[in-house]
Structure 1
C-alpha cells in the first residue's frame, strides 16, 4: 500500500462519523428517457421543503439525482467530514470488508470515502469474491434489477466529497456480467463513477455557472460508450455527449471482461465573475485517450472539482429502458487524485 493510501486509511480509522440516511425522495425523482427524440416527460414540482431531485434527460442519459450535498446537509456533519477526509488522493480496493456483506455508506466511510447521503447501497451493493477481481480477491458488485429504472430502484448513487481542487483524475475498473442487458426496447444508462462540482448541474437544468457541472460515462445501444457532461454552453436543454473512440473505432463496452475507465476534469478559470473558456474534460479507455473536450465554461464562481459521484443506474423514464433480466457490474481499484502520477494505468505509479 502506498504511503498516501496508508495515511487515508489511518485518518478514516481514527474518526467516527454519524451514520447517514438516504436522500429524501421527491415528485421530481422520475427519470426521463435516454436516447429518445421525444419531448421530456412532464415534471411535478417537489413539495415545499423537499430537497429537489432533478429527473433525468430525454435526448441524453436520464434519471440522475441532484447532489444531495448541495441542499439540506447538516453543517456540523459537513465540517467534520471535511476535516476527516482532507486528502486529495483516495484509493479503494474493496478488500477490507467481508465477502458477501453489503457495502453501505458506513462501510465506505471506514475506507476513507464520505458522502452525505446515498441510494441503493444497502440493497444493491455487495462485496463479492465470486468472480476474479481486477486486483486482490474482492470487488464491488452492483445489481441492476430486472424491470427497474432510476437510482431509487436500480444501481446506486452517492456523492463522495473531495477536497476541492481545480483538476482531478478519477479511475476505476468495471466488468459487466456475461449476460448484461442493455435494456428492453430502449437503451441507455450510466456506468460507475463521475466527477462533479458545486450543485452538480444535471437533469435538464440550465448550467448558470453558479450551480455546478457534471461529467460521466454512459452506455447506449449495444454498449456504445460516451462521455456525457453538463456545462454552461451545452447545445440544448440536456447535456452534451462525446463518443469514446479507441483505435479509430467507437468503443462498445464488452461483457465478461475488465475494462479501465479514467477521466480528467479541469475547471475553467474565472476573472471578475466571468468564466474563461479554458475548462477541459478528458476520458481514457484502457489507458488510451478516448475523448477530449476543451474550451469549456463550467463555473463563474469559486466551485472546483469537489465530488467523485457514484452515479450508475438504468433509465430512462419508461420500463423499456429497464434490463430484461437482473444484470450486474463489478467495480474495482477506484482512485481519485489531483496527480496523474497516482493513476498507474495512465503511466504513473512507477
Structure 2
C-alpha cells in the first residue's frame, strides 16, 4: 500500500511540473510588446516570441525563472513566474535610450544560428542580412547568437564565423544595414554628427597575419531613399592594426597611408599586405571601438573622422574628401548619416586574405549617440577587471611579446623604464608605445610602477 501511494505521488509531481506558463508582456503605459523574447533564464534554448497582443505560452512551472528581452526595452534577467496562467510582465525602457539614438545588445535575439529572413526583419528590423540566412538554402552558421560569451555578465553577443578559405559577403562573415529610423519603410532619420561604439573580441586562433577584413561602422543614404550613398568603413589589417576608408559611388577617395591608418607604422614593406601599423586589436580579450563622423558646417570644411580604441583617441583624418562629395543630381544637404553597417567579413580576392582554418569574432553592445559615449571608461569603473577576459586595469600588460621588431605596446598610457639583463637602464618614457628596435635582440625588463615585465626581441 505504501508503494502505491509513493508511485502516485511521483506521477502527480511530474504532471504538475510539466505545465504551460502563459502571460502578457507590456510596457509601462500598458501597451503590449510584440515579438519580445521569452526564454528560460538558465536554459535559453527553451524560448518563444510574444504575439502581436503581447501574449506568450512556454513550458515551465510556477517558480520558473524567465528571461524577457525586447529591442528598445531593458532586459529582465530572472522573472520568477508566479502562476501558470496570466503572468503579467512589465518592461521598462532601455536606459541607454535616454542619451542614445540607438542601442543593440542582442539580448532580444533567440540563441543559436539558422536565422530566417522573416526572423531578422522582425528582430531588428532590416531589409537583408547576409550570413544570417542564405538565399538558396535554409540557413547559415556564420551568424550565431551566443548566450555563453558577452562583454556583460549574463549578456548575449553575436558570434561571426569566417570560414576556412572563404572571402566576401557571399561566403564570409555577416553584412547587414540597420536603419536608425528602425525600418526601411520610414527611413527619415538624418544626422551629420554621430558616434558609434561597440565591443569586439577575436578567437584565440584569429589570423592577424592575414591581410585584413571589414569591421562595423556607419554609413548613409541620400535622404528618404533606400540606396547607399556612402560608407565610412574601417578594417582590421595585418597585425591587428586599423584602417579607415570611404566608399563613394564616384570612387574618389584616395588618401595616403598616414591619412588612413590609425597610429604609427611599425613594419614597412611593399604592398598593403606586408607593412603593419600599431596592433590595437591583436591582444586578448574584448576591445572597445568608438567612431565619430562629423560632416562640415556648410562652407567651413570643418568635418572630421576620428576613432578610439580602448579609450585612446586617434584623430587621424579631416574629412575633406567626403565633405566635398555630392552624388550626381543632389545637394550636399541631402547627404546624411542614417544607418549602422554591421559588416564583418574578409575582403580581398587573393590567398593573402584567406584564413587557413575557421576563425571567429564576437561583437556586442552597439550604441549610437549624438555625443561622446566613452564606454571603455564606463566599463572599467563598472567591473573591477573590466569586461570579461580583458583586464582593463592592468597597465603593465605588454604586447606583442615577444616580437622581432622591438616595438611594444601598453594597454594604458603610463610611465615606464627599460633595463638590460645586467640591470642597466637604457630607456625611459611615458605613453603606450615602447620602442627599443635600435637595441640588439635578446631579453629586456620593463618596469612600470612596482611591476617588472620581461620582454623579448627575437
Q: Which of 172, 177, 198 is residue 221 of structure 2 equivalent to?
A: 198
Aligned to 1:50: none
The 3 A distance-change label for structure 1 pair 132 and 161 is closer
Would you say the 8 A contact 2:217–2:343 is kept in 1?
Answer: yes
Q: Which of 258, 273, 288 is residue 260 of structure 1 equivalent to?
A: 288
SS at match of 2:235: strand
SS at match of 2:217: strand
Equivalences for residues 37-48 of structure 1 within 5 A? none
- Bigger relative contact order, structure 1 or 2 (CA pairs below 8 A, ≥6 apart): 1
Aligned to 1:318: 350
Would you say the 8 A contact 1:161–1:308 is kept in 2?
Answer: yes
Aligned to 1:345: 376
Aligned to 1:155: 173
Would you say the 8 A contact 2:213–2:236 is kept in 1?
Answer: yes
The 3 A distance-change label for structure 1 pair 104 and 141 is farther
Q: Which of 287, 303, 308 is residue 279 of structure 1 equivalent to?
A: 303
SS at match of 1:196: strand
Q: In 1, distance between residues paired with 2:336 and 2:34?
A: 24
Q: TM-score, normalised by structure 1?
A: 0.61
Q: In 1, distance between residues paired with 2:305 and 2:204?
A: 30
The 3 A distance-change label for structure 1 pair 251 and 224 is same
Aligned to 1:328: 360
Aligned to 1:176: 202
Q: 1:196 offset after TM fit, Å?
A: 0.9
| Residue 137 of structure 1 pairs with residue 155 of structure 2 | yes
Count of aligned residue pairs for this structure pair:
256
Would you say the 8 A contact 2:121–2:127 is kept in 1?
Answer: no
The 3 A distance-change label for structure 1 pair 294 and 93 is same
Q: Which of 226, 229, 245 is residue 228 of structure 1 equivalent to?
A: 245
Q: Deviations over 1:211-259 (max 9, x none)?
A: 73322221111222222234686327x999522239x982331254100
Aligned to 1:82: none
Q: Which of 110, 121, 125 is residue 143 of structure 2 equivalent to?
A: 125
Whose strand proportion is higher, 1 or 2?
2
Unaligned runs of 5+ in 1: 17-86, 201-209
Unaligned runs of 5+ in 2: 1-26, 37-49, 53-98, 134-139, 181-188, 267-276, 327-331, 383-458
SS at match of 1:345: helix
Q: In 1, distance between residues paired with 2:102 and 2:28?
A: 10
Q: 1:345 offset after TM fit, Å?
A: 3.4
SS at match of 1:150: coil
